[in-house]
């Protein structure tokens, strides 16, 4: 056998002590992985947070703010705003209400343009800084939103975050930091973050912000950093110094951008300042308030500068804690890994190593396909586990897949050799890394540093020094080469699973695990297959004894009253009213609304393409007015131009307009252009009260179109509902939805 095809000498463990040492080495890697997954200890809360008076005030804030839904332009929204203003004035602050009309356009699939226009009412206050030049320094922005969704389950969410921010403002007012602090309680968050957009684009204080901390109540987990914008090392340093117990990573930020309903920085990215978004934590208001205060004090005393910073990668390491580096720095280990991979291959196999290269690369590819196909057979069960918060099944599938992959590596080693299998396996994460670093640079650190360490360890073990008979130094090199993978891979997979699986996106975490499995190939340089097998068997056994179901997720929502999806629908076309409910099982009380009915497609009102639903004719409540719509002009020339007005006598908080039968070429609202290119036309209006709105829409001259105007109001005409049993849930004022609809036709 020539030197080019000679297999790399394996480390021979000839005695019990060597076998024990190998077990200890693997145990060290397991301990590193366990430490990487461990939750950091929470610090003792500050004195003012630990005081009983703080908890009493927070409980009162939560009671008042969480008493009713606070959707935009509703009475509940106005009451919450009045409470915030009163509390801030009691702190000797001078809060103001920013009333702004804000517009947002979204292009949907197939080119449909959905415009959203809302009148928002932001609560803004400023806490003067203690520095002599505080007025000339960039200010710190602390923000959350105070509106909520329409549903009863949305009532309590966000109340604890607002309460914590109020108490943070009280503490900062008593002991001001060096910088000015701007407080923003934004409106319109649930309709596209219109309040934050209005502040960033229209408020004069937006130009003074040097850094923003946004707190979002989304999620049932603990408070954590979920996204950043324009934040580099200087901005991240304050978080790492003030609240290192708050988890977060640039990988999680990258993955969160895949989710439309995940918390996002949103319009605050336009502030020309670093923005850090923290989410969750409402299940523990004291920890939330303590972390919020520590962050505010740390950044409040740090000199801030305007402008965004270079992107950074950030993550946690066992013992070390939070670390960060410039995102571009991941190119260094990536390029170094490619150079080491090529050098190792040429050194091991020479210029004629194409056969060995193909055997190693495609042998590992075959194993990855086997693991992928095997895991795919459990896709439905894994998806259900992700939605239910079940952790054992995906963990068992991962461990079993790892066992199969490692066993396959040992089988291929017999015919190909250890070196070809190691380099063939590490070639796949190297290829993956090049793609990730180009398209997802914030996530590249997960592969970049472990790959460089693994290849460096392989080169050392391949060198003349590494082939010496001394076992302990070589084992230390091997453990050091796999330590970065043990430290970074487990939390990366955990965070990816916990973030994406509840959204039915279980495939990305599974695909992430495939290149990570390739690092196990470095174990092939040890002739301890029984030891490795025993450790994997022990790991698999530990997974099977885990509890089968995760702890129930905390929920802040009160019990449903059964009416959240019930609609009272007034239709001007038929001059009738209806009860509507999406297809679902009915209890005895709701069945009284739909006697003798079955879910049906309601063709008369909604057309053939509408979904099946429960519907029944209801008494017409004349106190609920139809939309006041007037067609003023319908001319045909080079284009068909329709002019009309809309006014809500009901002062509906939400008006929805939809064009059907044609595409809009151009459109205007009150003389201001809305759209200027041909596309399907949708418009959502919020907070218009009883204003008369003037519309102009142009379409192709040979097309006719209709405009559907639909007013949406929280709540139902409760006097029209059947009587309820004494033990039935309390019927809230804003339960369900009332809709009033009319259609204008332009022939």
pLDDT value at 122 more than 70: yes
In the chain, count H helices and then E strands: 20, 22
**Pair 28, 81 in one domain:** no
- In sequence order, the β-bridge partners of residue 299 are none
**Pair 171, 270 in one domain:** yes
Segments of 350-478 assigned E as strands: none
Q: How much is the mean pLDDT over the chain?
A: 88
pLDDT digits (tens, 9 = 90+) for 696-722: 999 999 999 999 999 999 999 989 988
**Pair 55, 144 in one domain:** yes
Among candidate residues 16, 27, 25, 32, the one with its CA nearest the CA of residue 539:
27
- Strand 321-326 and strand 312-317: the pairing is antiparallel
pLDDT above 70: percentage of residues in the chain: 90
CB atoms inside a 10 Å sphere around CB 81: 20
For 624, the token pair is: 């609920």
Predicted pLDDT at 389: 63
Domain total in the chain: 3
pLDDT digits (tens, 9 = 90+) for 212-261: 999 999 877 789 999 999 999 999 999 999 999 999 999 999 998 888 87
**Pair 163, 52 in one domain:** yes
The reply to whether 731 falls in a domain is yes
pLDDT digits (tens, 9 = 90+) for 263-318: 899 999 999 999 999 999 999 999 999 999 999 999 999 999 999 999 999 999 99
Of 317, 340, 357, the one marking the end of a domain is 317
Distances (CA, A) of 104 to 60, 180, 453, 679: 35, 30, 47, 16
C-alpha–C-alpha distance, residues 674 and 681, integer Å: 10
C-alpha–C-alpha distance, residues 685 and 715, integer Å: 18
Residue 577: which region, alpha, beta or left (left: phi > 0; alpha: psi -120 to 50)?
beta
Q: Which residue has the higher pLDDT, 502 or 156?
A: 156
Q: Which residue has the higher pLDDT, 5 or 87?
A: 87
**Pair 650, 723 in one domain:** yes
SS3 of residue 738 by DSSP: strand
Average pLDDT over residues 72-85: 96
Residue 540 domain boundaries? 16-38+328-544
55 pLDDT tier (thresholds 50, 70, 90): very high
Handedness of CA 7, 8, 9, 10 (dihedral sign): negative
SS3 of residue 561 by DSSP: coil
**Pair 34, 53 in one domain:** no
Predicted pLDDT at 551: 40
The reply to whether 108 falls in a domain is no
387 pLDDT tier (thresholds 50, 70, 90): low
Distances (CA, A) of 121 to 45, 194, 316, 631: 33, 10, 39, 32
SS3 of residue 61 by DSSP: helix
The pTM score is: 0.89
pLDDT value at 559 more than 60: no
pLDDT digits (tens, 9 = 90+) for 655-674: 999 999 999 999 999 999 99
Predicted pLDDT at 652: 97
Among candidate residues 296, 497, 282, 541, the one with its CA nearest the CA of residue 403:
541
- Cβ partners under 8 Å of residue 486, min gap 6: 29, 30, 32, 33, 36
- Asked if 19 and 531 count as a contact pair (C-beta separation under 8 A), the reply is yes
pLDDT digits (tens, 9 = 90+) for 450-497: 999 999 999 998 887 767 767 778 889 999 999 999 999 999 998 898
For 590, the token pair is: 């709701």
pLDDT value at 558 more than 70: no
Segments of 428-575 assigned E as strands: 567-571
- Strand 181-186 and strand 705-714: the pairing is unpaired
C-alpha–C-alpha distance, residues 531 and 484, integer Å: 22
Chain Cα centroid distance, residue 664 = 34
**Pair 310, 368 in one domain:** no
**Pair 347, 241 in one domain:** no
Handedness of CA 315, 318, 323, 329 (dihedral sign): negative
**Pair 669, 734 in one domain:** yes
The dihedrals phi and psi of 504, each to the nearest 5 degrees, come to: 65, 25
**Pair 278, 207 in one domain:** yes
7 pLDDT tier (thresholds 50, 70, 90): low
Q: Which residue has the higher pLDDT, 553 or 135?
A: 135
SS3 of residue 627 by DSSP: coil
547 pLDDT tier (thresholds 50, 70, 90): low
The reply to whether 165 falls in a domain is yes
**541-544 contacts, C-beta under 8 A, 24 or more apart:** 543/392, 543/395, 543/396, 543/399, 544/392, 544/396
Predicted pLDDT at 550: 43
The reply to whether 7 falls in a domain is no
Q: Which residue has the higher pLDDT, 395 or 540?
A: 395
The reply to whether 552 falls in a domain is no
Of 278, 296, 317, the one marking the end of a domain is 317
C-alpha–C-alpha distance, residues 186 and 475, integer Å: 57
pLDDT value at 4 more than 60: no
pLDDT value at 391 more than 80: no
Handedness of CA 172, 174, 177, 179 (dihedral sign): positive
Chain Cα centroid distance, residue 45 = 27
* Host H or E run for residue 97: strand 96-107
Report the 3 state secondary structure along 267-298: HHHHHCCCEEEEECCCCCHHHHHHHHHHHHHH
SS3 of residue 476 by DSSP: helix
Q: Which residue has the higher pLDDT, 609 or 540?
A: 609
Predicted pLDDT at 219: 75
CA atoms within 13 A on the CB side of 114: 9
The reply to whether 358 falls in a domain is yes
**Pair 245, 191 in one domain:** yes
The reply to whether 9 falls in a domain is no
CA angle 302, 132, 185 (to 5 degrees): 60
**Pair 502, 642 in one domain:** no
What residue has token string 């209400």?
97
The reply to whether 203 falls in a domain is yes
SS3 of residue 686 by DSSP: strand
C-alpha–C-alpha distance, residues 46 and 557, integer Å: 29
* Host H or E run for residue 713: strand 705-714
Residue 94 sits in a domain whose CATH number is 3.40.630.10
Listed range (51-55, 404-408, 431-435, 553-557) with the worst mean pLDDT:
553-557
């Amino acid at each position: 056998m020539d030197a080019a095809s000679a297999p790399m000498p394996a480390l021979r463990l000839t005695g019990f002590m060597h076998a024990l040492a190998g077990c200890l080495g693997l145990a060290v890697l397991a301990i590193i992985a366990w430490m990487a997954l461990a939750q950091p200890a929470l610090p003792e809360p500050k004195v003012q947070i630990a005081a009983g008076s703080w908890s009493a005030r927070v409980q009162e804030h939560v009671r008042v703010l969480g008493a009713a839904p606070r959707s935009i332009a509703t009475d509940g929204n106005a009451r919450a705003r009045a409470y915030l203003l009163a509390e801030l004035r009691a702190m000797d602050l001078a809060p103001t209400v920013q009333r702004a009309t804000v517009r947002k356009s979204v292009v949907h699939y197939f080119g449909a343009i959905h415009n959203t226009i809302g009148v928002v009412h932001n609560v803004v206050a400023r806490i003067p800084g203690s520095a002599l030049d505080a007025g000339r320094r960039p200010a710190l922005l602390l923000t959350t939103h105070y509106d909520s969704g329409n549903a009863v389950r949305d009532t309590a969410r966000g109340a604890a975050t607002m309460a914590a921010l109020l108490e943070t403002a009280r503490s900062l007012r008593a002991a001001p930091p060096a910088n000015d602090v701007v407080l923003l309680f934004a409106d319109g968050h649930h309709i596209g973050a219109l309040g934050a957009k209005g502040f960033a684009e229209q408020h004069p204080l937006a130009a003074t912000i040097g850094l923003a901390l946004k707190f979002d109540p989304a999620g049932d987990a603990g408070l954590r950093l979920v996204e950043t914008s324009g934040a580099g090392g200087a901005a991240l340093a304050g978080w790492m110094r003030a609240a290192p117990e708050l988890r977060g990573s640039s990988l999680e930020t990258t993955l969160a951008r895949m989710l439309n309903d995940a918390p996002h920085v949103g319009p605050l990215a336009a502030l020309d300042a670093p923005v850090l978004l923290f989410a969750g934590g409402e299940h523990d208001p004291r920890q939330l308030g303590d972390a919020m205060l520590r962050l505010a004090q740390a950044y409040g005393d740090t000199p801030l500068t305007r402008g965004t910073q270079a992107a950074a990668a950030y993550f946690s390491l066992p013992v070390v804690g939070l670390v960060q580096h410039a995102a571009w720095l991941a190119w260094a280990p990536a390029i170094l890994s490619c150079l080491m991979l090529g050098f190792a291959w040429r050194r091991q196999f020479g210029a004629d190593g194409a056969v060995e290269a193909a055997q190693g690369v495609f042998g590992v590819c075959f194993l990855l396909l086997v693991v992928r196909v095997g895991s795919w057979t459990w896709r439905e069960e894994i998806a259900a586990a992700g939605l239910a918060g079940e952790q054992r099944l995906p963990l068992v599938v991962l461990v079993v897949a790892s066992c199969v992959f490692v066993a396959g590596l040992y089988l291929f080693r017999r015919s190909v050799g250890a070196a070809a299998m190691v380099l063939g396996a590490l070639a796949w994460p190297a290829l993956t890394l090049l793609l990730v670093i180009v398209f997802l640079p914030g996530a590249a650190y997960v592969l970049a540093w472990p790959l460089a360490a693994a290849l460096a360890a392989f080169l050392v073990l391949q060198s003349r020094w590494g082939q010496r008979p001394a076992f302990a130094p070589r084992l230390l090199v091997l453990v050091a080469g796999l330590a970065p993978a043990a430290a970074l891979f487990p939390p990366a997979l955990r965070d990816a699973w916990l973030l994406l699986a509840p959204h039915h996106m279980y495939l990305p975490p599974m695909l992430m695990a495939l290149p990570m499995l390739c690092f196990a190939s470095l174990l092939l340089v040890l002739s301890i297959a029984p030891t490795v097998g025993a450790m994997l068997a022990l790991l698999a056994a530990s997974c099977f004894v885990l509890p089968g179901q995760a702890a129930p997720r905390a929920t802040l929502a009160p019990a449903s009253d059964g009416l959240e999806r019930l609609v009272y629908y007034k239709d001007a076309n038929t001059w009738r009213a209806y009860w509507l409910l999406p297809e679902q099982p009915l209890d005895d009380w709701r069945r009284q609304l739909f006697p003798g009915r079955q879910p049906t497609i309601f063709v008369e009102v909604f057309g053939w393409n509408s979904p099946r639903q429960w519907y029944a004719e209801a008494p017409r409540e004349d106190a609920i007015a139809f939309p006041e719509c007037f067609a003023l002009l319908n001319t045909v020339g080079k284009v068909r131009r329709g002019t009309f007005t809309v006014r809500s006598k009901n002062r509906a908080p939400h008006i929805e307009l939809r064009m059907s039968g044609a595409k809009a070429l151009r459109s205007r609202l009150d003389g201001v252009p809305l759209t200027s290119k041909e596309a399907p036309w949708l418009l959502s209006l919020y907070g218009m009260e009883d204003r008369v709105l003037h519309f102009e829409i142009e379409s192709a001259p040979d097309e006719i179109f209709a405009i559907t105007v639909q007013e949406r109001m929280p709540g139902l005409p409760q006097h029209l509902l059947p009587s309820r049993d004494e033990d039935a849930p309390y019927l809230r004022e804003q339960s369900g939805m009332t809709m009033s609809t009319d259609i204008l036709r332009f022939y």
